[in-house]
Amino acid sequence: MDPSLLRERELFKKRALSTPTVEKKKKDENSTPKDDSKKKMKPPSAPAPKMDVVSYKTMTGSSQYKFGVLAKIVKHMKSRHQEGDDHPLTLDEILDETNQLDIGSKVKQWLLTEALTNNPKLEVTPEGRYLFRATYKIRDRKSLLRLLKQHDLKGMGGVLLEDVQESLPHCEKALKSLQNELIYVTRPMDKKKILFYNDKTANFFVEDDFVKLWRAVAVESMDDQKIEEYLEKQGIRSMQEHGQKKAVVPLKRKKPNQRRNKNKKPRDNEHLADVLENYEDK
């Protein structure tokens, strides 16, 4: 055997003996597992406290709660207006009638300074009381009929039924008594009902042939200019402004006052009156 290999073998043994080793203890198969009751268990985390619904609603900083209070006030003021109660109320009286006396001071201050004064559906009297502000100031069927007549005369069309129901106390009773004076038209775009005054003086008989021709013409997608061009092609002159035009009178310029100019004497060289000499005699 090669002596160099033997020498290397001896060196390897020496290095192996000088290097410390750690033996892993084998797990005793016969050992029984420790009792589960002896194991340290982590205490279960305490559940998060549930927020009480009542306390959430009464939080003074909650905007949802504040606007809920405001919405309840506006709804109550509207209902009492529709029932015919037109006397103004203070904030404390409103809160008493709406069962909201338990609101916080911050919410009450917000109602007084911002919410109630800036609400378009509420009106503030000079005494600091509050009323419901309806779309139209109508109190009975006569005022409703007067409103519809004014709209008809001025060419303003009709009024929304929901605005009348909001503004007129005991609306259904008034509409029932005026059923022969009103015309209901349903708006096609949103199916809302419009009230018109039934002007019986404008009623006249039209033959069925003309009615059929009128309804057969579709002008939904045509504007006034296109209708005018179509009529001119058919040999029909469209309606123009035939009213008497007022003549424009030119403004007269004021003439200078001649009498004042005649009486006016020349004032040249008045300061040299003592110095001037007359040379006509010389």
pLDDT for 160:
92
* DSSP structure string for 121-144: TEEE-TTS-EEE--SS---SHHHH
The domain segmentation of the chain, as residue ranges, is 62-132, 141-202
141 versus 52: the higher-pLDDT residue is 141
- Quick one: average pLDDT of 2-29? 69
For residue 8, what are its two tokens?
A: 């290397």
The vertex-121 CA angle with 120 and 124, nearest 5°, equals 85
Q: Is 1.10.10.10 the CATH number for 62-132?
A: yes
Helices (H), 3-44: 3-18
Residue 43 has, within 13 A of its CA and on its CB side, a CA count of 3
CB atoms < 10 A from the CB of 197, how many? 21
Kindly report which listed range (180-194, 206-220, 266-280) carries the lowest average pLDDT score: 266-280
pLDDT for 63:
84
DSSP lists the bridge partners of residue 159 as 195
Grade residue 259 by pLDDT with cuts at 50, 70 and 90.
low
pLDDT for 94:
92
The answer to whether the CB of 138 falls within 8 A of the CB of 147 is yes
- Backbone phi, psi, residue 111, to 5°: -65, -40
Q: pLDDT, tens digit, for every residue of 260-278? A: 555 555 566 666 666 666 6
Q: pLDDT, tens digit, for every residue of 37-51? A: 444 555 555 554 444
pLDDT for 57:
46
3-state class (DSSP) for residue 205: coil
Distance in angstroms (rounded) separating the CA atoms of residues 183 and 126: 39
Q: pLDDT, tens digit, for every residue of 72-112? A: 999 999 999 988 888 899 999 999 999 988 888 899 999 99
Q: With 80 as the cut, is the pLDDT of residue 246 above it?
A: no
Across 7-96, where does the E strand assignment appear? Answer: none
pLDDT for 179:
87
Distance in angstroms (rounded) separating the CA atoms of residues 36 and 109: 62
pLDDT for 55:
46
87 residue type, one letter: H
